[in-house]
């Protein structure tokens, strides 16, 4: 979230309040010219003149108060604008002291004095290279843990020898069921 005060707008509004204060003077002049009744002309309307005098007096007091509020508000707005200007300048000066590498005056425009181009997007790093293939089994595969068994050699007296269990496959390969090939004279 950001909060930003346009001090020029505060000063313009202060000038408007001063102008409206002048309008209150015009309203007071109009009231004096058209709302006051003379006692000499009142005769039988003296109670009306009495009430009218009370109303005119209340309006004069209200207009005087409005003129005072407008004038004091205009003065306060100028003071508030000055306070925001000074506060912003003080904050800028403090930031400049904090980040000395920038070295600009308050309000000097950071965009024209930055130390590196802020509109460029850095190039992404190279993607990592895959690791070299290992001599062991790939990760996540299973291998047989049984020791290889000796295959019996056929003897000349046995006509159809049984080949026995197949030896374990080398590491890193999958296990398949061996097929028996006929051995002996009828090959």
**147-173 per-position pLDDT tens digit:** 555 555 555 555 555 555 666 655 655
Domain boundaries along the sequence of the chain: 7-105
- Give 116's pLDDT tier (boundaries 50, 70, 90): very low
**Nearest Cα to 182, choosing from 164, 160, 166?**
160
Q: Is residue 62 within 8 Å of residue 24, measured between CB atoms? A: no
Reported residue count of the chain is 187
Name the residue with higher pLDDT: 141 or 90. 90
Q: Phi/psi at 136 (nearest 5 deg)?
A: -85, -175
Name the residue with higher pLDDT: 73 or 157. 73
Q: Is the pLDDT of residue 187 over 70?
A: no
pTM of the model: 0.45
Neighbours of 161 (CB within 10 A): 14
């Amino acid at each position: 979230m950001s909060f930003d005060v346009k001090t020029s707008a505060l000063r313009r509004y202060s000038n408007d309040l001063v102008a409206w204060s002048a309008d209150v003077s015009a309203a007071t002049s109009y009231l004096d010219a058209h709302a006051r009744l003379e006692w000499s002309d009142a005769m039988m309307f003296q109670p009306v003149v009495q009430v009218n005098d009370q109303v005119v007096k209340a309006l004069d007091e209200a207009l005087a108060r409005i003129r005072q509020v407008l004038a004091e508000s205009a003065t306060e707005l100028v003071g508030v604008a000055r306070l925001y200007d000074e506060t912003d300048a003080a904050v800028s000066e403090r930031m400049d002291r904090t980040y000395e590498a920038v070295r600009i005056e308050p309000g000097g425009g950071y965009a024209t004095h930055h130390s590196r181009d802020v509109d460029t997007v850095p190039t992404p790093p190279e993607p990592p290279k895959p690791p070299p293939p290992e001599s062991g089994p790939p990760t996540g595969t299973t291998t047989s843990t049984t020791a290889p068994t000796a295959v019996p050699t056929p003897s000349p007296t046995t006509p159809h020898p049984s080949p026995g269990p197949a030896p374990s496959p080398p590491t890193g390969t999958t296990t398949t069921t061996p097929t028996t090939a006929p051995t002996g004279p009828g090959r």
